Structure 1
Amino acid sequence: MAALQRRLAEFAVARDWGQYHTPKNLAAALSVEAGELVEIFQWLTPEESARVMADRESAARVEDEVADVLAYLLQFCDVLGVDALAALAAKIDRNEKRFPAPGNGHSME
């Protein structure tokens, strides 16, 4: 992950894009790319959406948008100094406490 973040940062520096990579702009770009991922699935039935990767063209579109979302998320984290994996691990820990699995002695009542 760190190597990919370095590549993204180097790519931006080489093109003098750093001036545009503010947290606000990166968050907006992330939202746009996530919207483009949603657009692929917008009018599909649940069954069609489950088979989207079976079609080479739609699979390529999904992979491109996933890459765009991840790239902007990694750049966003880099600019703000967020360790994405540590943040995710902490969130999972909180969710495990907040939403215990059934049968582990905790009641949902």
Structure 2
Amino acid sequence: MNDWKDLKKALINFRNERDWEQFHNPKDLALALSIEVAELNELFLWKKAEDANKEKIKEELADVFAYAILLAEKYDLDINEIVLAKIKKNAEKYPVDKAKGTATKYTDL
């Protein structure tokens, strides 16, 4: 698998074989995504980042990506297109000459 379309196809096939689409409405996919992000965050709680279990990070991150891809599919969104559009928008909000090397929010640059 080399791109988002292949991943989406594999996820949809996995979901459909189990008749889970009935549970995958946008609201529940967004909630599941949020829960998986919380589980990913939990792996870092009270420890240094380098002490987090990499195998568990891979598993939780895979869940995050899976739910995000399925949510994009529900709205017929092209992942490459929306991410590139967001990068372009952020480039305008965070010009290199003002934002380089700082974590300051764009409204305070």
TM-score range, shorter chain: 0.7 to 0.9
Query: How big is the shift at 1:52?
Result: 3.6
Match of 2:96 in 1: 101
Flag structure 1 segments of 5+ consecutive residues without an equivalent.
none
Please list every run of at least 4 consecutive aligned residues from structure 1 whose deviation after the TM superposition is greater than 6 angstroms: none
**TM-score relative to the length of structure 1:** 0.83
Deviations 1:41-77 (A, max 9, x none): 1111xxx20x246xxxx11000000100000001111
Instruction: Find out whether 1:75 has 2:66 as its counterpart.
Output: no
Higher relative contact order (CA 8 A, sep 6+): 1
Larger Rg belongs to: 1
Question: Percent sequence identity over matched residues?
Answer: 34
2:46 aligned residue: 43
**Structure 2 residue runs without a partner (length 5+):** 99-107
Tell me which amino acid in the other structure corresponds to 2:54. A
- Partner of 2:88, secondary structure, is helix
Q: Note the aligned Cα RMSD (angstroms).
A: 1.5
Query: Helix, strand or coil: the match of 1:25?
Result: helix
| Aligned counterparts of 2:34 and 2:45: Cα–Cα separation in 1 | 16
